[in-house]
Amino acid sequence: MKYIFVTGGVMSGLGKGITAASIGRILKNRGYTVTAVKIDPYLNIDAGTMNPGQHGEVFVLSDGGEVDLDLGNYERFLDIDLSSLHNITTGKIYRSVIEKERRGDYLGETVQIIPHITDEIKCCIRAAACEEIPGAGKADICLVEVGGTVGDIESMPFLEAVRQMRGELPVEDTVLIHVTLIPEDSMGDLKTKPTQHSVKALRELGLYADIIVGRGHRPIGSNTKRKISAFCDLPQQGVISAATVPDIYQVPTEMEKEGAAEVLSRHLHLESRGVDSDWYSLVAKEYTSRIEVGIVSKYGIEDVYMSIKEALKHAGRACSTEVKISWLDAERYEDRHLGEFDGILIPGGFGKRGMEGKIEAIRYARTEKIPLLGLCLGFQMSVVEYARHVLGWENATSAELGEGRHVIAILPEQQGVTDLGGTMRLGNYPITIRENTLAMQIYGQPVIVERHRHRYEVNPLYIPELEKAGLVFSGSWKNRMEICEVPDHPFFLATQFHPEFRSRPTRPSPPFIGFVKACSAVKSGEVNS
């Protein structure tokens, strides 16, 4: 096993995750099996209860793990399925060490950061690295991204663990990549001083960067690379420019041009292999048409819905259709704005705020025959909207929203659980698709598997009346409804699950492909709106 450690300096949010994922893609294109680990230094056990407005999207893994959005980037770039083992947090590490201490595993030792915490970190990294990848086996190379920036108090134990691992393994089995900001001054000159200070802080911890990735709005020239090389004591070839690009999937292409693969191969003693160019051909594909989709959001931050943005991009590329996204505040938009879009998407979320706006957008899409895709909460609100405006149940609502006729509710088997996450349905579940439905047309198979993250379900008491009124529940799992659709509509599909979590550039999500095709067909007049 070879390890690529990725650290960051100067500021957070530089794109360490995209950098690491891109490096993984470059190596995968050369035939290596790559896995990934994301270290988050926060004290939370996982990302499940964190505010998405502050932390970004909570990505859900196949085993139900609620993790940092960078795990989503790893899965999309590397086209693999990861598990909860691949997200390491301070909370997980300390909980494990304290549980061992309480059991007496340390035989009366004084439990300390070094060696007990650092040993646990190393153990967790190795366990994740050695876990077999479904359909691919054991990895050749493990990416390890250390969250935060060098100098953060929270990151110190993890950086120390990295230092120890580098000392314990052969030199050719590890490489350290440090991602830093290369800002511009008012004269447009690129400044290297922040990188120098960041590398100095890294060295004070006993860590030496083999490769420096310089992030900025424009490429780094040879003079700037030479300066970084001289002050940071590494070959000029080890300074990689990572300028901002229009599409994150172009980053591996740009890093190939910078010679990143050759530098990595030299450090890790990797054999020379041919390059599979399918990925590069895919991301270079040109669009032949364009649609505009309105997403009725309640959070106002695009990173909350990163997987939805990417899934639309994947489907658009597969259909040669550029998808332009407009974000609509669920509390402030006006109905007349909805008519400007080729399609409407209602994403997931929690809480009461913005719900009436989502319901109104669903009503507009249904009655005006605008293609609609509802996800999770969007599915639940589609059922509420249908009950209110087709069945005439004005008090129809969700138990999450308050009093009324709860067409969406906590099922009896979920009640009595006090743990906030205990009532959640998380991860992969099988779904049975009904024949002669839009869902069957989209998926083309009777049983599918998709990922979930929700608490409330369609109330079984009201399903017969909803179906009698015309709403079709075309997918289900046991007594839980998974997909609903409206007949005689260009495209009205809502899913209780999150299909965006399984979408990949090479394997776009079927509901998203169906949605993009329907939007294009309506726009071009192939289907009457």
For residues 134 and 86, the answer to whether their CB atoms sit within 8 Å is no
For residues 86 and 62, the answer to whether their CB atoms sit within 8 Å is no
Domain's final residue, options 281, 305, 335: 281
pLDDT at 165: 98
Tokens read off for 420: 């906030």
What whole-number distance in Å separates Cα of residue 36 and Cα of residue 165? 16
User: Is the residue at 480 inside a domain?
Assistant: yes
Q: What is the pLDDT of residues 208-237, one digit of tens each?
A: 999 999 999 999 999 999 999 999 999 999
Residue 130 sits in the same domain as residue 52: yes
The CATH number of whichever domain residue 301 belongs to comes to 3.40.50.880
Q: Where are the alpha helices (DSSP H) in 390-503?
A: 438-443, 463-468
Residue 316 sits in the same domain as residue 263: no
pLDDT at 528: 60
Residue 461: burial class (beta carbons within 10 Å; 0-12, 13-18, 19+): exposed
pLDDT at 418: 47
User: Is the residue at 178 inside a domain?
Assistant: yes
Residue 175 sits in the same domain as residue 73: yes
What whole-number distance in Å separates Cα of residue 34 and Cα of residue 261? 14
For residues 318 and 517, the answer to whether their CB atoms sit within 8 Å is no
Residue 201 sits in the same domain as residue 308: no
Residue 244 sits in the same domain as residue 338: no
User: Is the residue at 200 inside a domain?
Assistant: yes
pLDDT at 420: 47
Domain's final residue, options 235, 254, 281: 281
The residue annotated as part of the active site, out of 142, 376, 484, 519, is 376
Closest CA to 311 of 75, 149, 139, 51: 75
Residue 229 sits in the same domain as residue 307: no
Determine the 3-state secondary structure of 424 from DSSP.
coil
pLDDT at 414: 61
For residues 36 and 145, the answer to whether their CB atoms sit within 8 Å is yes
The residue annotated as part of the active site, out of 120, 452, 498, 519, is 498
> Can you give the length of the chain in residues?
529
Q: What is the sign, positive or negative, of the torsion defined by CA atoms of 215, 72, 78, 505? A: negative
Residue 193 sits in the same domain as residue 79: yes
pLDDT at 371: 98
User: Is the residue at 131 inside a domain?
Assistant: yes
The CATH number of whichever domain residue 112 belongs to comes to 3.40.50.300
Determine the 3-state secondary structure of 175 from DSSP.
strand
pLDDT at 26: 96
Q: Which long-range contacts (CB under 8 A, 24 or more apart) does 58-63 make?
A: 58/453, 59/307, 59/501, 60/426, 60/427, 60/451, 60/452, 60/453, 60/498, 60/501, 61/86, 61/87, 61/427, 61/451, 62/427, 62/428, 62/451, 63/427, 63/428
pLDDT at 333: 87
Residue 223 sits in the same domain as residue 313: no
Residue 178 pairs with which residues in a beta bridge?
7, 212
484 carries an active-site annotation: no
What whole-number distance in Å separates Cα of residue 378 and Cα of residue 362? 8
454 carries an active-site annotation: no
Tokens read off for 382: 């589609």
User: Is the residue at 106 inside a domain?
Assistant: yes
500 carries an active-site annotation: yes
Residue 143 sits in the same domain as residue 165: yes
DSSP-derived pairing of the beta strands 66-67 and 59-60: antiparallel
pLDDT at 299: 75
pLDDT at 421: 46
Give me the half-sphere count of Cα atoms (radius 13 Å) on the Cβ side of residue 310. 27
Domain's final residue, options 266, 281, 296: 281
pLDDT at 415: 57
Residue 319 sits in the same domain as residue 273: no
Measured from the Cβ of residue 159, the count of other Cβ atoms closer than 10 Å reads 25
DSSP-derived pairing of the beta strands 343-346 and 321-329: unpaired
Residue 222 sits in the same domain as residue 316: no
Number of domains, the chain: 2
User: Is the residue at 141 inside a domain?
Assistant: yes
User: Is the residue at 529 inside a domain?
Assistant: no
Tokens read off for 506: 């090479």
What whole-number distance in Å separates Cα of residue 230 and Cα of residue 86? 36
The residue annotated as part of the active site, out of 406, 452, 500, 519, is 500
Q: Kindly give the parts of the chain with pLDDT less than 70.
A: 300, 413-423, 527-529
Domain that holds residue 377: 286-524
Residue 390 sits in the same domain as residue 452: yes
User: Is the residue at 422 inside a domain?
Assistant: yes
